[in-house]
Amino acid sequence: MPMPGRKGTRNPPPRPTNGPAGAQPSIIRGPGFFHLPTNSRLDTNSPASPTGAVFLDRDGVLVEDVHFLTEPGQLKILPGVAEALRDLQDRFYLIVVTNQSGIARGLLTEDDLLEIHAELVSRLGSQGALLDGLYYCPHLPEASISAYKVECRCRKPGPGMLEQAAGDWGIDLSRSVMAGDMPRDIEAARAAGVKGIITGGSHTQQPGSLGAVRNLPEAVPLILSLAAGPQVDTGNETAVPNIVSPMQSSQSEVK
């Protein structure tokens, strides 16, 4: 089943207005399975906007993986994540792409997920770190809730969420990176034409095209090396220099 919205067209949700100065960012529900923080830079079309994105798996990369996270109180942002995002956000849009089959399993609702993401965005925002958007896949082919019993393209390893983001916001996938802790994250990246980097987990023997590291903070220099060329859209030239070789898996052992 296709994702909502038309692939290849820009179909952005209305731009939210920012709250009063100093207010914590909040979040609104976008079309389809998308949450848009009020401090997002998507849809601004400023000439200095990044053209690529860092796509971020949520559980195990940004927050502790508690198997099924069903309420905001379970959110534990991993060490160094806010700083890593601050280091990346000048060069890339930061977009979460997360499988949330707990919704199809009846463990949480889409409203619950919105609350969880509002809390995540707010806590990161209080540390000066941005998330520009959060795509989620609520589906599962063997779901107990029939509305979500779908063979979809958005559930990773499918590339649907990355493609949707590119279509919605004009993101250049060839200048983008996916950071995830599972092989399915890297498969989704590869299928979308995005470079992948394994960050943690026990899968470092199967690194993505950018290699494998222990956590998101360790991925920052590798990801920034991709942005070593011109920061902004320079027209037709391809500016993706200095691809770093995958690190040796012996250097990336996970405890």
Question: Under the rule (CB under 5 A), what is the footprint of Zn ion?
Answer: 137, 139, 152, 154-155
Quick one: what does residue 35 bind among Zn ion, Mg ion, none, with the CB cut-off 5 to 8 Å set by partner type?
A: none
194: tokens are: 């995005």
Nearest-approach distance from CB 7 to Zn ion, in angstroms = 14
Asked about 57 being catalytic, the answer comes back as yes
Q: Residue 17: how many CB atoms within 10 A of its CB?
A: 6
Nearest-approach distance from CB 216 to Mg ion, in angstroms = 11
Give the 3-state secondary structure of residue 88.
helix
- Please give the residue ranges that form the binding site for Mg ion (CB under 5 A): 57, 59-60, 181
- Which of 59/163 has CB closer to Mg ion? 59
49: tokens are: 């906007």
- Which of 155/175 has CB closer to Zn ion? 155
**Peptide bond between residue 183 and the one before it cis (omega within 30 degrees of 0):** no
Written as one string, the DSSP assignment of 4-66 is SS-TTS--PPPPPPP-STTPPP-EEE-SSSEEEETT--TT---TTS-S-EEEE-SBTTTB---
Quick one: what does residue 60 bind among Zn ion, Mg ion, none, with the CB cut-off 5 to 8 Å set by partner type?
A: Mg ion
Quick one: what does residue 181 bind among Zn ion, Mg ion, none, with the CB cut-off 5 to 8 Å set by partner type?
A: Mg ion
Catalytic residue among 43, 57, 65, 168, which?
57
- Catalytic residue numbers read 57, 59
